[in-house]
Structure 1
Amino acid sequence: MARADRLLRLLDLMRRLRPPVTAARLAEELGLSERSIYRDIAALRAAGARIEGEAGYGYTLTEDPALPPQMFDRLEVEAVALGLAEIRAWGDAELAEAAERAMAKIVATLPERVQRQAMHHVLHAYRYFQRPEAPPWMGLLREAAWAEEAVRLAYVDRGGAATERVVYPLGLVFSEDRHQLLAWCCLREGFRRFNLHQIETAAREGLSFRPRRVSLLNEYLGQMGGEERGEPG
């Protein structure tokens, strides 16, 4: 393998693997010796790459505009195009526009040959059922989740009962036929899934639950995984 290709593959691995990544792991992935990895990391640093860490601990790549751009192969381009098309179909207007911008930015960085593959990708997804229109509260809930800020909902359950409750928004789920909010419900003092189309009004409360979102979400997803495996709740 040419040294330039090897250095690009090393950069790609350091972007993808969970940091800090050890020289032993990099050597195993690339089929090289650890000594070669140390030399290549030194060469990348000399070329301007910002790589933190040291031997025996592991390395973390800090992205820098001076680094060579990531290269996509044809299948990776297909995967990106297919995923962004699904986002445009399921998301609200703001999210759909973001997907368009993301695809344009990705295509602009690709070599001409790969640009053509991106513009004429062969993978497409069609759904032969009526997809629900993106609910009006999606953007507000998305921003509140990122800000870790409580939201007050006026909600109508499937039985038609109307309630008002304060929730901690943890994430949004796109299932086959609906959009759902994963949240901690302060009224029920437990995790709940709310169908966005059953929300009548939503307003941010200005009440922060930072920094609990990630731990709450992990706990919720763990419970959901247990339910799917048939484990007792």
Structure 2
Amino acid sequence: MSRAERLLDLIQILRGYRAPVTGTVLADRLGVSLRTLYRDIATLQAQGADIAGEPGLGYVLKPGFMLPPLMFSEDEIEALVLGARWVRARADGRLGAAAETVLAKVGAVLPPDLRTMLDDSGLLIGPGAAIVGGDIDLDPVRIAIRREHRLDIGYRDEAGRVTRRRIWPFALAFFESVRIVAAWCEMRSDFRHFRVDRISEIAPTETHYPKRRAALLRAWRKTLPAKIADKI
């Protein structure tokens, strides 16, 4: 384990205690000597961690401390790179650009050795099937989900017939080649899944739907087979 990873683990351990915890307990949990533990505490305090206490009395991390990006572990950096590359390749253009920005911001504050790992990661996203309806702007859908607003849409069925729907969107799923909007449909009075490539028109509204998105999401999961719900 690198020292950066050990410092991260120390922060996470301290977050699990509301009362002061002795240096001996912390050192045992980290598998290091008490002397090393005291040096690590001093390092974190110098980096801005609000750790109160002293040797013999115990330590407590005061609420509100945010870990700087340089505290990411190597595995976490690889997860960020892989996820950002997938979003860039398979999500819509706006999210793809956001993924690039995230990596740039992280890279700007990483120490040189970890920044090299960010730039030269060997985790790649292979080519996939063409995305059906990939040119449709999903920004209004994502905004409606975040703000818990109704959407008015035109929706084509398999025969090409278009119906007008007012929906309460609460999730957007990205499959290999298809995007699906999960929503409550006022017309059907039930949950429905709308393929983005069959949406002919999207008209945002400023009207909040009457339930919280989290509540809709929980209720929707209960309608799914257990083997699927457990993975979403």
Is the contact made by 1:137 and 1:196 (CA closer than 8 Å) also made in structure 2?
no
Task: Give the aligned partner of residue 62 of structure 1.
Answer: 64
Alignment of 1:1-233 (within 5 A): 8-12=8-12, 21-22=16-17, 31=29, 49=49, 61-64=63-66, 68-132=68-132, 134-209=134-209, 212-226=212-226, 228=228
Instruction: Give the Å deviation of 1:136.
Output: 2.4
What secondary structure does 2:11 align onto?
A: helix
Identity %: 30
The amino acid of 2:29's aligned partner reads G
Summarize deviations over 1:187-206 as a string: whole Å, max 9, x none.
11111110011000011122
Q: Which runs of 5+ in 1 are unaligned?
A: 15-19, 52-57
| Native 8 Å contact 1:152 1:164 kept in 2 | yes
SS at 1:62's partner residue?
Answer: coil
Q: Name the CA shift for 1:22/1:219 in 2 (closer, same or farther; >3 Å).
A: farther
Q: Distance in 1 between matches of 2:128 and 2:47?
A: 52
Instruction: Indicate if the aligned counterparts of 1:107 and 1:115 stay in contact, CA closer than 8 A.
Output: yes
Which whole-Å deviations, capped at 9, do the CAs of 1:108-167 have from their partners, x for residues lacking one? Answer: 111101111111111112134323353424100000110110000100022322110100
- Seen in structure 2, the aligned counterparts of structure 1 residues 60 and 92 have a Cα distance that, compared at 3 Å, is farther
The CA distance in 2 between the partners of 1:220 and 1:121, in whole Å, is 37
Structure 1 residue matching 2:159: 3-state secondary structure: coil
Q: Relative to 1, partners in 2 of residues 1:99 and 1:205: Cα closer, same or farther, differing over 3 Å? A: same
On the 8 A contact 2:149/2:208 being kept in 1, the answer is yes
Question: How many pairs are equivalent?
Answer: 210
Q: Secondary structure at the match of 1:184?
A: strand
1:102 partner amino acid: V
**Aligned-partner residue type, residue 180 of structure 2:** Q
Q: Distance in 2 between matches of 1:82 and 1:5?
A: 20
The TM-score, its normalising length taken from structure 1, stands at: 0.73
Runs of 4+ off more than 6 Å: 26-30, 42-47
Query: Offset at 1:76?
Result: 2.3
C-alpha contact (below 8 Å) 2:151/2:202 kept by paired residues = yes
Larger radius of gyration: 2
Q: Quote the Cα distance in structure 2 between the aligned partners of 1:50 and 1:211.
A: 39
Give the structure-2-normalised TM-score. 0.74
Structure 2 residues without counterparts, runs of 5 or longer:
52-59
Q: CA RMSD in A?
A: 3.7
Alignment check: 8 A CA contact 1:149 1:208 kept:
yes
